[in-house]
Chain A
């Protein structure tokens, strides 16, 4: 627990940071006051662009050339980091203050073994020989819960799973027993279950070592589960900070309350419609299997075939006006199914759409495409950056509807997704992430589809933006009675909005259950594990345990 007798390990006082840009000065951080005593985890929560990562780089003394520090001090155990020379900082990084990054697949060098990347910290800061460092590294890997540490040291990053890699990164961060560690969204790039394990590991190591931790995240629910105190940052300013329970129980700032309200909570159902259960289902998926991997020229000569199964004989149906959620870890085959249904993947088996058999791409004619639309995860990748919004939205209108009064129609579409009509003249890069996803939604709805496949469409968005996009989708659904196939890894979110939930695991459909009863103890073992892993968000009704 936090030791309040001693001075804080990390102490930031009145710190301000500007970036000089060609079009003026950008105030990234304004008068930041934060302190983390030994043994404490301080959560720093903010949306993207709020300045939370800038603060991390300020602490690590790794700022771009156009950064200007206009005021304040950053103290590590009483020493002013801002007064240290480059070489002094280099001897402190990794030894007295270290950092864990968001995505272990990019923060590890792909061409060096995991052992090399772990032991180099030890040779650098603890003066060990390579051999000693290697042995010490194995011990560290055992400590972070890796089963075969000696073998893991030898492996290359691509030979380890995301969770294993993040454990190696954490081992490196803890290797020299630092006073302070910064965690920058360390579980965002991981699967639900893996993320939970990594979080548990972090809490355990933190308690063991008492290291002062700054845990940076956009996910308030996640921070609430790990941190003792939370600071909320918005547009470069700390708007509120205090103990987790106090913040959840009685947030002083409207912005904090908004953030709390935006956290998906399965106890609060958002969907009001009921699917039409009379008559036949809109979509019937019968024994659909997808295999990846082409048979290459030489493989066909030698007769070897390597096939990876994406879906194994999946059968399900979607009713008219239903929201069917599909949850699963990455690699569980949920997106594969979406791709099969839109003709992006070959499949075996059969799909019935409104009584019509669809056996492959050749059956997916314009009528089918008009009825079945898909929205992707990253609007940056799915909107053509060289086209104005007007052009992007006019395509489906010309293809499926009438091109008459195009401007009028495009304006109406933008209004339906609650964007100003004037956005038609903008390019995608002039819009925020949430706005771009709204454009993608407008495009999908342009053809008045009967089924919209949403493939992780909110997972690249901030929690608060996600909430508003979800609200929009539910509104559109109420107006148009469109069915949704909503693919996500966020179990709490899907429990709020789906009528039924399909659980997938490694290509298999485990089960389909009503959203209201998905947490019943009769569910399949894997479903129960998922539910347990993703406990409902902490807060007033869920004191920190």
Chain B
């Protein structure tokens, strides 16, 4: 893997984030919310509002406001929340940490289940195991997370009372309790991903198993197991890396719903609160952080892929 390949991809991220920041800034300008009114309340005098606008730089031309905002961002300053007056950065990153924990656990659980399912379905193509996996995948894909979440809470928290229904306990505070609170949300998020990824693994593996080089490997006298492990799986799982990275995009969206349902103070929840309060700087920060997360995950996936498949750097 060449340094120029990595550099190119990094440049791409910078470019993407720049465009995202522009869009985010533009959208918040269009929103019918006045930061000064938000801070001083509906009954503030015109003079007071005007003075605040002046001091916040809200009367400056838009491009100057954007430049200032971007300048602060580059120094790690996300501004202060209009709602609480707190610095946004630390609050958002703490929330991001909780969401990441949720996401990483979900992806981990998903991989552990989806990859073997996909492999079984591919090897037993057209037989009962394959059809069962297909059926379960379709059900998983077609149920939205608010439905599965509701059912999960109803069954496992209400009826069985095995798990806490909602809430969040930091793992550092009480590991067992923290984990118990994570089980349901992690499962709910995984279900849709499992369906998606297992189907992907299946179709990739079916393709690879039909390729000439697999036949050639068989003709060398390698056993089916060796052919599968050494020749087929690696190539079939490569595209899965990209798919999982793209799924992080879904995860960021899905996490908002799941965090809301399970009352987990993650970044999705922060964003919802910010939107409800028309807290413009927080909305901007939240969206940007999500976009950055998505870009970085996909960057990492590209690098991993290029490292595993040496042909990539030549593209």
What 1/0 mask marks residues of chain B from 172 to 214 whose CB sits below 8 Å from any chain A CB?
Answer: 0000000000000000000000000000000000000001110
Among A73-81, A87-95, A284-292, A501-509, the stretch that binds chain B is A87-95
When the two chains form their complex, are residues A93 and B220 in contact, meaning their CB atoms are under 8 A apart? yes
B1 to chain A, nearest CB (A): 13
Besides A124-B221, A125-B221, 8 other A-B contacts (C-beta < 8 A)? A94-B220, A103-B212, A106-B211, A106-B212, A109-B217, A110-B235, A158-B311, A301-B11
Residue B219 at the chain A interface, CB threshold 8 Å: yes
Quick one: which of A98, A99, A107, A120 contacts B230, CB cutoff 8 A?
Answer: A120
Residues of B within 8 A of A95 (CB): 221
Tell me whether chain B's interface is mostly helix, strand or loop, or mixed.
Answer: helix
B219 near A109 with CB under 8 A, answer: no
Bound complex: CA A124 to CA B230 (Å): 13
Which of A60, A103, A124, A156 is in CB contact (< 8 Å) with B310? A156
- Asked if residues B215 and A111 are in contact (CB atoms below 8 Å), the reply is no
Which residues from chain B contact A60 at a C-beta distance below 8 Å? 219
A233 interface contact, C-beta 8 A = no
A-B contact pairs, 20 of them (CB 8 A): A62-B219, A90-B224, A93-B220, A94-B220, A94-B221, A99-B216, A99-B219, A101-B215, A107-B212, A107-B215, A107-B216, A110-B235, A110-B309, A111-B234, A111-B235, A112-B231, A112-B234, A124-B220, A156-B311, A158-B314
* Complex Cα spacing A87 to B235, Å: 25
Task: Please state if B220 and A98 are interface contacts (CB–CB under 8 Å).
Answer: yes
Number of interface residues, chain B, beta carbon within 8 A: 27
Cross-chain contact B230 with A112 (CB below 8 angstroms): yes
> A108 an interface residue at 8 Å Cβ cutoff?
yes
Bound CA span A169–B220, Å: 10
B308 interface residue, CB < 8 Å from A? yes
The answer, yes or no, to whether B53 is at the interface (CB within 8 Å) is no
Contact present for B309 and A111 (CB under 8 Å): yes
Contact of A111 among B217, B222, B308 (CB under 8 A): B308
Q: Is A259 an interface residue (CB 8 A)?
A: no
What are the 5 closest A-B residue pairs judged by CB atoms, nearest first? A94-B221, A93-B221, A106-B212, A94-B220, A107-B216
Cα A62 to Cα B310 in complex, Å, equals 31
Does A121 reach chain B (CB closer than 8 Å)? yes
Beta-carbon contact of B220 and A111 below 8 Å? no
Per the bound structure, the CA–CA distance linking A318 and B56 in Å amounts to 76
Judge whether B80 is part of the interface by a CB distance below 8 angstroms: no
Cβ-defined contact, B235 with A101, below 8 A:
no
Interface residues in B1-53 by Cβ distance below 8 A to A read 8, 11-12
Which residue from chain B places its CB closest to the CB of A65 in the assembled complex? B126
Residue A497 is within 8 A (CB to CB) of chain B in the complex: no
Q: Of all chain B residues, which has the CB nearest A93?
A: B221
B309 touches A62 (CB 8 A): no
Contact with B along A96-127 (1 / 0, CB 8 A): 00110101001111111000010011001100
Q: For B309, what are the chain A residues with a Cβ–Cβ distance below 8 Å? A: 110-111
Distance from B209 Cβ to chain A, minimum over Cβ atoms (Å):
12
Assess whether A107 is in contact with B213, with CB atoms less than 8 Å apart: yes
- Residues of B290-315 at the interface with A, using a CB-CB cut-off of 8 Å, are 308-311, 314
Q: Is the CB of A298 within 8 A of B213?
A: no
Any chain A CB within 8 A of the CB of B218?
yes
Given the known A-B contacts A111-B234, A158-B311, are A106 and B220 also in contact in the complex, defined by CB atoms under 8 Å? no
